[in-house]
Structure formats: C-alpha cells, structure tokens
Amino acid sequence: MKLLEGKTAIITGAARGIGKAVAIRFAQEGCNIAFTDLAIDEIFMATEEEIAAYGVKVKGYASNAALFEDTHNVVNQILNDFNRVDILVNNAGITRDSLVVRMSEQQWDAVININLKSAFNFIHALIPAMMKQRNGNIINMSSIVGVHGNAGQANYSASKAGMIGLTKSVARELGSRGIRANAIAPGFIITEMTHKISDEKRAEWEMQIPMKRGGTPEDVSNTALFLASDLSSYVTGQVIQVDGGLNT
C-alpha cells in the first residue's frame, strides 16, 4: 500500500523546483495532484506530463496565489475536478533581495503577498471543505531564514517567519477538527533559484553546513511526504528544518 494512495493534494508553485519535487514524490506514493503556478508555459506542461506518468490524476492550474478572489476560484475549481482535497502544500514563493535601507515598497509587498498572503488565501479557501470532511493536512514551506533572519532578505525572512506563525496558529485552531498543520524550513537547497548564486558564495555557504553540501529538492520532498502521510498522524504545529545542520 502506497503512503498516499487515493489522496489528493494541492501544491502551489509546483511547476519547478521544490514544489515540483514534492508533487512527483507524492505521485510516486499514489497521490492525485492539483498544482498551481503563475502561468501555463512549456515547463508547466512538461511537469504535468511527468507527474501523469505515475498513473495518478493530475491537473495544473494557472493562478496568482497572491490574489484572494483568484485563489478561492481555483480552489473551487479543483474541488469540482477532484471532489475532495486531503493535503495542501503552500510552496509558492519568490525573492526580491535588498538591504532594508534600499528596499522598495514594491519589493516588500511582492514578497509578502506571494510568499505569505498566498498561504492564507489557500488555507482560507480550503478550510471549509477540510472541516466538513473532518480531515486535512496543511504543509507550509518556510525557510531557515524565517527562523534566524538573513541580511539582505528582510522581506523574505519576514514572509517565512510569518509562515511559521501561521502554521502554529492554524494547528491550534483546527486540531480538534482533524486538521494538522506543519512547516518545513529548508536551508541551502540547490534549485533554479540558487543557481543565480556565484560559485564562490555557494562554496562559502557549504563550508558553514555541517554536512558540507547543499540540499536537494528531494531532501525536502521526502520530509513533506512524512508530514503528508499517516506516519506523522500525531505531529502538528511543528517546524522541521531540512538544512544539513546549518541552523543547529
């Protein structure tokens, strides 16, 4: 029996990177996948095909997760298409790095809206259905910089710290309704986003990591699988750091 056999997950920002890795890992364990990203493009379509190869139902949706009304509309569409949703992974995120003194209001608002408000939007839209079925599982993608901060990333750090507070509050509010909420705080994970970092900076980061390597999207997706499955049935309100010991 596969760990997520017959379940359905919504994964936001899943056309690439960590979100895609989570979608594929869930599909390998029998989970039907509804994933969202900002626009339908070649990468989006290729991800949909790759997930479908595991024999599960999959459908991608173009959605701006930062918009409250758009999110409610896409969640209603997903519920109509899949009948129910068991798991929500709030993964959509961007960076707009800058020192606070130079950061524009637009840079601040864009990161907070896409990284943090989007999670509220999806949780708000999906909670009534999860409460009705008295079962649900919410996984919010935070970051270790949401735990300890990072120079040049005040907006990103604030959004990811907000994800932790949101996770713990939702866990307290909805635990009695059979709904769990946990967060994952990845460290230095090698993705398209981190490829922009110079080799020198990457080597500097890796020297600070006790395991002496960057993580992979699969390192994060395996943790997400644990939290999404019944293996973690008594785990809620927690933040699991997947960082190779960087924030030990």
Give the domain CATH number at 67: 3.40.50.720
Q: What percent of the chain has pLDDT over 90?
A: 86
Residue at 155 is within a domain: yes
User: What stretches of the chain show up as alpha helix (H) in DSSP?
Assistant: 17-28, 42-52, 68-82, 105-111, 118-133, 145-148, 154-174, 199-208, 217-228
Average pLDDT over residues 208-237: 96
Residue at 31 is within a domain: yes
pTM: 0.95
> Residue 191: pLDDT band by 50, 70, 90 thresholds?
confident
Residue at 2 is within a domain: no
Query: So what's the pLDDT on residue 81?
Result: 98
Q: Active-site residues: which are they?
A: 156
Residue at 3 is within a domain: no
**CA dist list (Å): 133 to 34, 38, 107, 121, 162:** 18, 29, 39, 20, 27
Residue at 247 is within a domain: no
Residue at 47 is within a domain: yes
Range of the domain at 24: 8-242
> Residue 205: pLDDT band by 50, 70, 90 thresholds?
confident
Query: So what's the pLDDT on residue 22?
Result: 98
Domain count across the chain: 1
**CA dist list (Å): 37 to 15, 47, 107, 216, 221:** 6, 11, 20, 21, 18
State how far Cα 186 lies from the chain centre.
Answer: 10
Q: Is residue 197 predicted with pLDDT exceeding 90?
A: no
> What is the pLDDT of the chain when averaged over all its residues?
95
Query: So what's the pLDDT on residue 193?
Result: 65
> Residue 202: pLDDT band by 50, 70, 90 thresholds?
confident
Residue at 49 is within a domain: yes
Residue at 69 is within a domain: yes
Tokens of residue 114, six digits: 């896409």
